[in-house]
Structure 1
Amino acid sequence: MRNEYVQAVLAVVRLVPPGSAVSYGDVAELLGSGGPRQIGSVMSHHGGGVPWWRVLKASGHVPEGHEAEALILYLEEGTALLGDFSSYLRTGEGRWRVDLAAARWAPTESDFDSIDAIAGQLERSLHRLSVADDGMIL
């Protein structure tokens, strides 16, 4: 995966505010590039330095193995949750997920300006790389 794409995904994720969440597909749609699997791959390999817990499966579930850490962060941030998270905290048992309908990030006009700048830079970078890959002189 190209570094330009990784950096663009991470830049969009950094914009998601505390208490909000997006799906992998939401990030791809905002960026105008890739799809949920590509976003998931970026987050899996490079997402440790950004608020990774704010990017979820479309079902609102956290990536497997990160439930306990993410739940604490959601509770600290006041993220809307569904299910038996209090039992999960006490015993490690119980199913819960983020209420993505309630917690889904609604970017402001300023956020969209930032997203457009990120997406535009990515598009220009990928275009330059595509032209260079075709053997043309830039």
Structure 2
Amino acid sequence: MRMEYVEAVLELVALIPAGTAVAYGDVAELLGSGGARQVGSVLSHHGSSAPWWRVLKASGDAPPGHEREALALYVLEGTPLLGSYAEYLRTGEGRWRVDLMSARWAPSDGDFDRIDAIAEGLERRRHKMSAPDDEMTV
């Protein structure tokens, strides 16, 4: 995976406020590039310093293998949840998920300006990388 895509995903994920969430596919759509699996791969391999728990499956399920850690962060941030999450915290039993309908991040105009800048920067870097050598000289 190209580093310019990794950087763009991580930059966009950093904009997602506490208490909100988006699906992997939402990130790809906002960037205008890639897909849900690519975004998931970026977060899996490079996302430890990003708020990775705020990006999840469209079903609202937490990233596999990180359910307990993610749930603690959702509760701390006040992210809307569905199911028996209190039971899960106590015993590790029970099913829960993020209420993505209520928790979905609705970017403000200022957020969209930043998102557009990230997407445009990604596109410029990609174009520069794919340009023939003679186009790269100024």
Indicate the residue corresponding to 2:93 in structure 1: 93
Indicate the residue corresponding to 1:56 in structure 2: 56
Q: Which runs of 5+ in 2 are unaligned?
A: none
C-alpha deviation, 1:131, in angstroms? 1.1
* CA deviation profile, 1:35-80 (whole Å, cap 9, x unmatched): 0011010010001001000000010001111011111100010000
Using the aligned pairs only, state the percent identity. 67
Q: Does 1:75 align with 2:104?
A: no
Q: Does 1:108 align with 2:108?
A: yes
Alignment of 1:1-138 (within 5 A): 1-132=1-132, 135-138=133-136
Query: Which amino acid is 1:45 matched to?
Result: H
Q: Which runs of 5+ in 1 are unaligned?
A: none
| SS across alignment from 1:111 | helix
TM-score (norm 2): 0.96
| Misfit runs of 4+, over 4 Å | none
Partners of 1:63 and 1:136 in 2: CA distance: 44
Partners of 1:101 and 1:22 in 2: CA distance: 10
TM-score (norm 1): 0.96
